[in-house]
């Protein structure tokens, strides 16, 4: 598969120096920018999907009139967090 080139971007010299100053050993500015673009594209995709699920859930709640009290939802999320990170983790995080 052939590769493609991203459009060049113009930045102030100071900003370029800042980006170059945070590169790790063996990393190029091009790979840094590509990684940042990939992460942002992934974030936007996941964020869009999250919003779509939220809108669908809201539409369903409006249509059916069935909702879950906030405290119930939070308690369920706490259970998920506790199952993943250990008993009481959610409450410990909250108190910090």
One digit per residue, the tens of pLDDT, for the chain of length 96 reads 899 999 999 999 999 999 999 999 999 999 999 999 999 999 999 999 999 999 999 999 999 999 999 999 999 999 999 998 887 655 555 555
* Domain assignment present for 45: yes
* Domain assignment present for 17: yes
* Domain assignment present for 4: no
Residue 16 is part of which domain span? Answer: 10-65
* Domain assignment present for 2: no
Do residues 47 and 76 both lie within one domain? no
The pLDDT, as a whole number, for residue 88 is 66
Do residues 45 and 15 both lie within one domain? yes
Do residues 71 and 85 both lie within one domain? yes
Do residues 71 and 52 both lie within one domain? no
Q: What is the 3-state secondary structure (H, E, C) of 9-67?
A: CCCCHHHHHHHHHCCCCCCCHHHHHHHHHHHHHHHHHHHHHHHHHHHHHHHHHHHHCCC
Do residues 49 and 71 both lie within one domain? no
User: What predicted TM-score, i.e. pTM, was given to this entire model?
Assistant: 0.69
DSSP 8-state symbol, 6: P
Q: What's the token pair of residue 74?
A: 């939070």
The pLDDT, as a whole number, for residue 38 is 97
* Domain assignment present for 60: yes
55 contacts 62 by C-beta, under 8 angstroms: no
The pLDDT, as a whole number, for residue 86 is 82
Do residues 56 and 85 both lie within one domain? no
The pLDDT, as a whole number, for residue 90 is 59
């Amino acid at each position: 598969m052939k590769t493609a080139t991203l459009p060049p971007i113009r930045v102030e010299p100071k900003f370029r120096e800042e980006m170059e100053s945070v590169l790790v050993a063996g990393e190029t500015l091009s790979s840094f920018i590509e990684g940042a673009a990939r992460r942002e594209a992934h974030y936007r995709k996941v964020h869009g999907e999250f919003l779509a699920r939220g809108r669908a859930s809201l539409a369903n709640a409006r249509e059916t009139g069935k909702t879950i009290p906030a405290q119930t939802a939070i308690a369920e999320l706490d259970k998920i967090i506790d199952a993943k990170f250990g008993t009481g983790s959610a409450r410990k995080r909250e108190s910090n």
